[in-house]
Structure formats: structure tokens, C-alpha cells
């Protein structure tokens, strides 16, 4: 699925994500033991997927369908993940394939977690949870429960 907004905005967002990976790789090349989570591109994949599901969860708690209304400025998370697959810049092919598999495995894991959590969030909404009045009321330790 592609974003429904401006294709130029989507392209710029993917370019920004690619720059972030390039920057992480550059910084980590100076380390004796580079952080493979950064070098592999796994860190931005986890961040992008989780931010997407936070956005979808907020939609559920606001009474909207979480599967609709793609962002008008950001691409669907699958687009940058696929773009990351093409960015191997100096990484040996075998290692690049391992990094790609790691990114895709993390996507599948996060998607599986979402699949299990989504019905719980829908039930929480049906039980009366709302974010319009107090966007943090659902957080543990919130002093003002609605």
C-alpha cells in the first residue's frame, strides 16, 4: 500500500530515513564493536513500525478505523523497509542479506504483536476508553482517569 498524499513528501521521508541509516553506519564505523542494531537498519525499522502502530492505536481510541486514513505525508512503513533493502553501501552481500532478513523478521514480529493487541484496544474502546478528553488517561499511573 502507498501513502495517499503528496508523492514528493513520501519520497523525502524515505530519503530522510535512508540518510539516518547512512549516518548511523558512519558513526558506528569508528566503534570497535559497532551496534549492529544501528548498522543493519533494524533500529529505524522498529521505530517506524512502532510509531505506525501508536498512530493506529490512537485512531482506535478516538473511534476511527485504524486500518484507514494513511498519512498524507509519510509513506506506509513497508516502503522505507523495502528501500533499506537496496542500501547496502559497502556491506558484504552475505551480511547485507542477513541485515535484510533481520529487518523483515522484526517487521513480522511487530506485526504479530499488533495483530494480538488490536482486538484488545478495540475492546478497551468499546468498554469506554477515549482519548479525546484526556490523551494520557489510559497510561498507567495517570492521575485523572475518565
For residue range 8-22, list pLDDT tens digits in order.
888 888 888 888 888
Q: Model confidence at 145, in pLDDT bands (50, 70, 90)?
A: very low
Q: Say yes or no to pLDDT of 146 above 80.
A: no
Burial status of residue 42 (CB atoms within 10 A of its CB: 0-12, 13-18, 19 or more): buried
pLDDT at 2: 40
Q: Model pTM? A: 0.75
* Residue 112 to residue 64: CA distance in whole angstroms: 21
Cell digits of residue 82: 523495502
pLDDT at 4: 53
Amino acid at each position: 500500500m502507498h501513502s495517499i498524499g503528496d508523492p514528493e513528501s513520501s519520497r523525502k521521508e524515505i530519503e530522510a530515513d535512508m540518510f539516518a541509516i547512512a549516518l548511523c553506519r558512519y558513526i558506528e564505523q569508528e566503534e570497535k564493536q559497532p551496534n549492529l542494531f544501528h548498522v543493519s537498519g533494524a533500529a529505524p525499522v522498529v521505530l517506524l513500525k512502532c510509531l505506525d502502530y501508536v498512530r493506529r492505536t490512537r485512531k482506535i481510541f478516538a473511534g476511527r478505523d485504524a486500518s484507514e486514513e494513511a498519512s498524507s505525508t509519510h509513506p506506509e512503513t513497508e516502503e522505507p523497509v523495502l528501500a533499506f533493502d537496496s542500501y547496502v553501501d559497502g556491506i558484504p552481500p552475505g551480511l547485507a542479506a542477513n541485515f535484510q532478513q533481520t529487518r523483515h523478521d522484526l517487521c513480522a514480529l511487530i506485526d504479530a504483536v499488533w495483530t494480538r493487541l488490536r482486538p484488545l484496544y478495540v475492546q478497551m474502546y468499546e468498554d469506554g476508553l477515549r482519548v479525546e478528553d484526556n490523551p494520557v488517561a489510559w497510561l498507567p499511573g495517570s492521575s485523572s482517569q475518565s
